[in-house]
């Protein structure tokens, strides 16, 4: 079947097998930031945006993205950098394998809620597993980032 | 110290956070054969017939291999990443006619894409001769059914292994007369504790891709902690010379010991060696959960004796360990259950440790952070907590009275001296951090919920005494920047950065001026690999020495340029200065000079090994809220004080500690492993196997109480493993203090708590 979509702002139109998962489609198109950590929609590593909203690309048929805009971390480098520097300052990126999914979902959170409290942060990101960090360093990084934003984003 | 003990950013931080393609599956060529395995549905069976004809002829299929392609009387091998000769028995074949657990490989299929390989897998017809299985490890020793009846099974080391008794290893060790001492103790407590085969659950699955390089050699790119061991293992499995193999690791998406076993490299390696085509195998999560290298299930019988005044005089431990179908890390993990638990106590008159490691028809175990110490510390520390209750003593007070101190000889720790130890300070710190005196033992929150606190201590090693080898090679490049080559594997731990910090400290430059390369068997200096908490301590020391040597070479060339004696110059990291007349040359000038008409190599390399393994220490305390009605349990806060010597990078050490603690909490509360009667693991996905999410933990706070270890680089010891150990006993004790029941099998699920409550009520009425 034919699939037409925008991937990180670039129009794509091509033939795909109807059972292609969005995750596999994206990786085949060079978006290697999209990771697979499970087969059961439990880890959040495959998080991407569909029309700006986070979805799990491992449990989403590519066909369903027809006519939509898909964004991966490859397409959000600048927006991400501002935030990820705060995670790096904590050393909370560790192995890094969960990072892209986590960063995508965190950006989605910030877009939806510019001032989330701790409970809201934990709730929103609950589906993003990380086995290395114990989450505490990620939380410190998020809080520092939000603080910085509140102060107007100046260093 | 300028760079050591500083919280510098990890060198790869922004690349990783930006989602750059740096992992195995990101780097594998688009055009490569997809390799998958057909796995046994039976826990113990012989392959009576296998028909692969249809599969072989299917569209897109390149090759199908079965036991018929592997000499069944050939040399067996182990997948354990250990120094040769491996203590783990040689009990594997690449494909074996005898399959020994549900998930044991039956056939290898390689084809153009996932779709056709999946199809071909379904087309293979297998007839099994199903055999009786040994599923319960308590009955495995001398069971009539043998997991390894074959004649070519072999143990290279004297570890007490005997395949005709289902024994992977057996050991005994003691000092003093335990029975006599226990007979004269006021209180003797006897308890049994049980832990399961928990999964490391690193987020990146096992994976590797293989190709044939320009020289006709097999090039393996794998997510591995052990490039050198992997080369040896693959060579043995394929029966080809090691010189024909190169193993390289890219960025690793977590290991925690899982990737200290060459779980899957042999399969794509075999395919590529046979077909001469590039191939890759990436495990599914299900394979990671059912056919990998989890923690050894253990049952520990503890006898502990003390006087009424609190003096702990003897510990007697028997550990039964379940290595599963194959013996990876079986003989070596079990010892730590005693060495790293009993040694926490310094006033003993006697100890005894006996162990059996048995084969069963379950998934093979492997190495998981803590490596047996985790299990042993859970048992002994819980026994000490139970003892405190029986003596009517505060468990912290009991420990203050009995712990090992700096300067003590640790009789259960290979008789090594305790050269650096701040355990006493760690305990004091943790007591204050959690507000012990206000909170112990519990507080009723008035809504059916009770909050209890509990404590646990831990120690680990820093590398394997007299075995682990760490090497570093350093060179000066144009402009004067440095390249550090290592064979240790950064698996998210940040060792690339930490080792660069050590080099930068010695060379008096910034961390950015040291680039790091590792690990590649062709290019890296030999390193045992990143395991056993060895990298900072062993490889770090090698880096320190290599950098010191490089300084001398820089001085030598600088002196030649300045026309003076090497003894007459000094180097401040930027310039080599002639002390006699004040003339100097810069590092960049020296670097340029090294590339023109030069005969002094601006390179150094150093190999280090340490005869002892100075333990890091730690105290941890949990505050846990238990809902007495539902059994629901939440860790409100976990506090810990760690003595890892000098933390080379406090940020990375802290995050290591926080991550390890949460893994320990997961093992205590939610990470369960159950088998059905057919020998299948039920927790075969992240849906069933519950690792903690960020909602499962209140807060973790970690502080450092550093001792200074003279044998380590700038006083450092290890941090990687010790951090997983304290939550098991601390959370167990906190739950007891909240609800009045001791749980002696992990995980402590809400069901168990509710049942425990009912049991308690029955007894009291
Ligand atoms: S890959 Fe795990 S949720 Fe998508
Ligand atoms: S950093 Fe390794 S899983 Fe999150």
Is B470-608 assigned to CATH 3.30.365.10?
Answer: yes
How far, in Å, CA of A4 to CA of B444, rounded?
60
What does the block give as tokens for B635?
A: 């860790």
What does the block give as tokens for B80?
A: 């354990």
H or E segment and range at residue B730: helix B727-739
Which letter does DSSP use for residue B173 in this model? E
Number of helices (H) and strands (E) in chain A: give both, helices first.
5, 5
The confidence band for A155, taking pLDDT boundaries of 50, 70 and 90, is: low
Residues of B in contact with A75 (CB under 8 A): none
Find the mean pLDDT for residues A132-142. Answer: 98
Please provide the DSSP assignment of B344-360 as one string: TB---SEEEEEEEEEE-
Q: Which ligand is nearest to the Cα of residue A45, counting in written order?
A: 1
Under a CB-based contact definition with an 8 Å cutoff, are residues B740 and B457 in contact?
no
How far, in Å, CA of B454 to CA of B617, rounded?
18
Pairing label, strands A10-15, A2-7:
antiparallel
Per-residue confidence (pLDDT) for residue A154, from 0 to 100 = 67
Torsion of CA B259, B263, B268, B273, to 10 degrees: 100
How far, in Å, CA of B75 to CA of B553, rounded?
47
Alpha-carbon Rg for chain B in angstroms: 27
Give the residue from B368, B309, B362, B316 showing the smallest Cα distance to B342: B316
Q: Alpha carbon of B568 to those of B555, B576, B579, B592: distances in Å? A: 9, 10, 6, 22
Residues of A in contact with B24 (CB under 8 A): none
Per residue in B499-557, pLDDT (tens digit) is: 999 999 999 999 999 999 999 999 999 999 889 889 999 999 999 999 999 999 999 99
H or E segment and range at residue B472: strand B470-476
Q: Whose CA is nearest to atom 1 of ligand 1?
A: A36
CA B297 to chain CA centroid, nearest Å: 15
Per-residue confidence (pLDDT) for residue A11, from 0 to 100 = 98
Q: What angle do CA A49, A50, A56 make, to 5 degrees?
A: 65
Residue contact B659–A32, C-beta within 8 A: no
Per-residue confidence (pLDDT) for residue B361, from 0 to 100 = 98
Per-residue confidence (pLDDT) for residue B241, from 0 to 100 = 98
Phi, psi of B515 (to 5 degrees): -90, 150
Length of chain A: 155
CA of B151 to the centre of ligand 2 (A): 43
What domains does chain A contain, in order, with CATH numbers? 2-74 (3.10.20.30), 76-150 (1.10.150.120)
Q: Alpha carbon of B162 to those of B82, B115, B167, B408, B444: distances in Å? A: 20, 44, 5, 37, 53
Looking at domain B420-457+614-765, which CATH architecture does it have? Answer: 2-Layer Sandwich (3.30)
Please provide the DSSP assignment of B388-401 as one string: HHHHT--HHHHHHH
How far, in Å, CA of B587 to CA of B589, rounded?
5
- Exposure string (b/e) for A21-58, b if CB count within 10 Å is 16 or more? bbbbbbbebebbbbbbbbbeebbbbbbbbbeeebbbbb
CA B529 to chain CA centroid, nearest Å: 11
Q: Which residue has the tokens 């902690």?
A: B225
Residues of B in contact with A74 (CB under 8 A): 19
Inter-chain contacts counted by CB atoms under 8 A, chains A and B: 176
Q: Which residues make beta-bridge pairs with A49? A: A54, A71
Torsion of CA B617, B618, B619, B622, to 10 degrees: -150
Residues of A in contact with B12 (CB under 8 A): 96
CA B428 to chain CA centroid, nearest Å: 28
For the CA of A58, the nearest atom of ligand 1: 4
* Two domains, one topology: B13-131+200-290 and B420-457+614-765: no
Torsion of CA B274, B275, B276, B281, to 10 degrees: -90
Residues 6+ apart with CB under 8 A from B139: none
What does the block give as tokens for B762?
A: 């029955």
Give the residue from B468, B368, B520 showing the smallest Cα distance to B83: B468
Residue contact B655–A97, C-beta within 8 A: no
pLDDT at A109 over 70: yes
CATH label, B13-131+200-290, candidates 3.40.50.720, 3.90.1170.50, 2.60.40.1120, 3.30.470.20: 3.90.1170.50
Residue contact B693–A127, C-beta within 8 A: yes
Residue contact A134–B18, C-beta within 8 A: no
Under a CB-based contact definition with an 8 Å cutoff, are residues B344 and B418 in contact?
no
Under a CB-based contact definition with an 8 Å cutoff, are residues B211 and B278 in contact?
yes
Phi, psi of B268 (to 5 degrees): -65, -30
Find the mean pLDDT for residues A3-32. Answer: 97
- Exposure string (b/e) for B469-500, b if CB count within 10 Å is 16 or more? bbbbbbbbeeebbbebbbbbbbbbbbbbbbbb
Indicate the pTM of the whole model. Answer: 0.98
Per residue in B726-761, pLDDT (tens digit) is: 999 999 999 999 999 999 999 999 999 999 999 988
Residues 6+ apart with CB under 8 A from B489: B224, B225, B226, B227, B249, B252, B255, B495, B518, B519, B529, B530
How far, in Å, CA of B299 to CA of B16, rounded?
40
How far, in Å, CA of A1 to CA of B372, rounded?
54
Which letter does DSSP use for residue B525 in this model? P
How far, in Å, CA of B714 to CA of B730, rounded?
31
Please provide the DSSP assignment of B34-90 as one string: EEEEEE-SSSSEEEEEEE-HHHHHSTTEEEEE-GGGS-TTS--B--B--SSSPSS-B
Per-residue confidence (pLDDT) for residue A153, from 0 to 100 = 82
How far, in Å, CA of A38 to CA of A44, rounded?
9
Query: Cα distance from A19 to chain B (closest Cα, Å)?
Result: 11
Max CA pair span of chain B: 94
How far, in Å, CA of B363 to CA of A77, rounded?
42
Residues of B in contact with A84 (CB under 8 A): 13-14, 17-18
Q: Which residue has the tokens 């939509």?
A: A68
Ordered by start, the domain boundaries in chain B are: 13-131+200-290, 420-457+614-765, 470-608
Phi, psi of B574 (to 5 degrees): -105, -45
Residue contact A91–B700, C-beta within 8 A: no
Under a CB-based contact definition with an 8 Å cutoff, are residues B540 and B609 in contact?
no
Query: Cα distance from B96 to chain A (closest Cα, Å)?
Result: 29
Residues in chain B, pLDDT under 50: none
How far, in Å, CA of B696 to CA of B359, rounded?
35
Q: Which ligand is nearest to the Cα of residue A102, counting in written order?
A: 2
Phi, psi of B61 (to 5 degrees): -90, 130
Please provide the DSSP assignment of B573-603 as one string: SSEEEETTT--EEEHHHHHHHTTSS--S--E
How far, in Å, CA of A60 to CA of A54, rounded?
12
Give the residue from B591, B687, B707, B556 showing the smallest Cα distance to B644: B707
Of A37, A77, A135, the CB nearest to B18: A77
Per-residue confidence (pLDDT) for residue B632, from 0 to 100 = 97
Under a CB-based contact definition with an 8 Å cutoff, are residues B651 and B731 in contact?
no
Q: Whose CA is nearest to atom 3 of ligand 1?
A: A41
Phi, psi of B17 (to 5 degrees): -70, -20
- For every residue of B605-659, which 3-state class applies, written as one string? EEEECCCCCCCCEEEEEEEEEEECCCCCEEEEEEEEEEECECCCCHHHHHHHHHH
Of B9, B14, B19, the CB nearest to A73: B19
Query: Cα distance from B257 to chain A (closest Cα, Å)?
Result: 13
């Amino acid at each position: 079947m034919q699939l037409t979509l925008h991937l990180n702002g670039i129009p794509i139109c091509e033939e795909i097998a109807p059972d292609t998962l969005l995750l596999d489609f994206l990786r085949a198109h060079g978006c290697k930031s999209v990771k697979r950590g499970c087969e059961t929609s439990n880890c959040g590593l495959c998080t991407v945006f569909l029309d700006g909203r986070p979805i799990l690309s491992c449990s989403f048929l590519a066909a369903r993205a027809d006519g939509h805009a898909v964004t991966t971390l490859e397409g959000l480098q600048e927006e991400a950098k501002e935030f990820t520097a705060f995670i790096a300052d904590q050393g909370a990126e560790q192995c890094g394998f969960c990072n892209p999914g986590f960063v995508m979902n965190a950006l989605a959170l910030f877009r939806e809620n510019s001032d989330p409290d701790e409970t809201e942060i934990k709730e929103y990101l609950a589906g993003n597993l990380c086995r290395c960090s114990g989450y505490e360093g990620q939380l410190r990084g998020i809080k520092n980032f939000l603080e910085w934003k509140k102060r107007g984003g100046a260093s | 110290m300028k760079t050591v003990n500083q919280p510098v950013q990890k060198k790869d931080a922004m690349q990783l956070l930006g989602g750059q393609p740096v992992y195995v599956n990101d780097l594998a060529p688009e055009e490569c054969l997809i390799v998958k395995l057909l796995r046994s549905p039976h826990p113990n069976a012989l392959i009576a017939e296998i028909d692969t004809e249809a599969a072989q002829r299917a569209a897109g299929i390149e090759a199908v291999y079965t036991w018929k392609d592997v000499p069944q009387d050939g040399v067996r091998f182990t997948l354990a990443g250990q120094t040769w000769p491996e203590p783990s028995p040689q009990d594997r074949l690449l494909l074996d006619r005898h399959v020994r657990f549900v998930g044991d490989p039956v056939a290898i299929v390689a084809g153009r894409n996932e779709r056709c390989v999946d199809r071909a897998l379904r087309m293979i017809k297998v007839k099994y001769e199903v055999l009786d299985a040994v599923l319960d490890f308590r009955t495995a020793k001398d069971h009539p059914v043998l997991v390894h009846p074959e004649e070519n099974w072999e143990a290279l080391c004297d570890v007490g292994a005997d395949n005709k008794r289902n024994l992977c290893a057996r050991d005994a060790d003691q000092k003093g007369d335990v029975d006599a001492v226990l007979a004269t103790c006021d209180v003797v407590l006897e308890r049994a504790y049980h832990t399961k085969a928990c999964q490391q659950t690193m987020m990146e699955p096992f994976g590797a891709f293989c190709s044939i390089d320009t020289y006709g050699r097999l090039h393996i790119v794998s997510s591995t902690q052990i490039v050198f061991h992997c080369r040896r293992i693959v060579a043995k499995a394929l029966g080809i010379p090691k010189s024909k193999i190169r193993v390289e690791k890219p960025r690793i998406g977590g290991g925690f010991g899982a990737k200290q076993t060459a779980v899957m490299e042999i399969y794509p390696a075999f395919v590529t060696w046979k077909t001469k085509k590039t191939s890759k195998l990436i495990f599914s999560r299900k394979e990671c959960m059912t056919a990998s290298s989890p923690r050894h299930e253990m049952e520990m019988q503890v006898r502990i004796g003390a006087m009424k005044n609190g003096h702990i005089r003897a510990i007697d431990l028997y550990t039964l360990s379940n290595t599963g179908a194959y013996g990876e890390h079986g003989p070596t993990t079990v010892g730590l259950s005693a060495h790293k638990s009993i040694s926490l106590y310094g006033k003993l008159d006697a100890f005894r440790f006996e162990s059996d490691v048995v084969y069963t028809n379950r998934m093979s175990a492997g190495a998981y952070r803590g490596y047996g110490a985790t299990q042993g510390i859970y048992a002994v520390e819980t026994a000490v907590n139970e003892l405190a209750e029986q003596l009517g003593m505060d468990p912290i007070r009991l420990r203050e009275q009995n712990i090992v101190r700096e300067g003590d000889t640790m009789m259960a720790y290979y008789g090594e001296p305790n050269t650096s130890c701040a355990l006493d300070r760690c305990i004091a710190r943790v007591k204050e951090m959690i507000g012990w005196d206000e909170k112990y033992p519990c507080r009723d929150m008035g809504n059916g919920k009770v909050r209890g606190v509990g404590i646990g201590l831990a120690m680990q090693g820093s590398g394997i005494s007299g075995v682990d080898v760490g090497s570093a090679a350093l060179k000066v490049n144009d402009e004067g920047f440095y390249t550090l080559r290592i064979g240790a594997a950064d698996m998210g731990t940040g060792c690339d950065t930490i080792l660069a910090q050590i080099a930068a400290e010695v060379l008096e430059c910034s961390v950015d001026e040291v680039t790091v390369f590792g690990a590649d068997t062709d290019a890296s200096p030999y390193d045992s690999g990143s395991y056993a908490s060895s990298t900072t301590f062993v490889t770090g020391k090698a880096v320190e020495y290599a950098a010191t040597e490089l300084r001398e070479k820089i001085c030598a060339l600088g002196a030649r340029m300045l026309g003076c004696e090497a003894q007459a110059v000094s180097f401040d990291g930027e310039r080599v200065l002639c002390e006699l007349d004040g003339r100097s040359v810069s590092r960049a000038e020296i670097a340029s000079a090294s590339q023109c008409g030069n005969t002094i190599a601006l390179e150094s390399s150093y190999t280090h090994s340490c005869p002892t393994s100075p333990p890091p220490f730690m105290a941890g305390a949990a505050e846990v809220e238990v809902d007495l009605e539902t059994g629901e349990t939440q860790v409100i806060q976990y506090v810990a004080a760690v003595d890892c010597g000098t933390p080379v990078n406090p940020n990375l050490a802290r995050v290591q500690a926080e991550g390890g603690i949460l893994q320990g909490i997961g093992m205590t509360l939610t990470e369960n492993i159950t088998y059905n009667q057919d020998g299948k693991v039920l927790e075969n996905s992240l849906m069933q196997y519950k690792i903690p999410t960020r909602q499962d933990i209140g807060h973790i706070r970690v502080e450092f109480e550093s001792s200074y270890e003279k044998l380590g680089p700038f006083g450092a010891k290890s941090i990687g493993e010790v951090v997983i150990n304290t939550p098991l006993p601390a959370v167990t004790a906190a739950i007891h203090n909240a609800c009045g029941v001791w749980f002696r099998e992990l995980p402590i699920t809400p069901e168990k708590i509710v049942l425990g409550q009912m049991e308690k009520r029955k007894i009291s009425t």
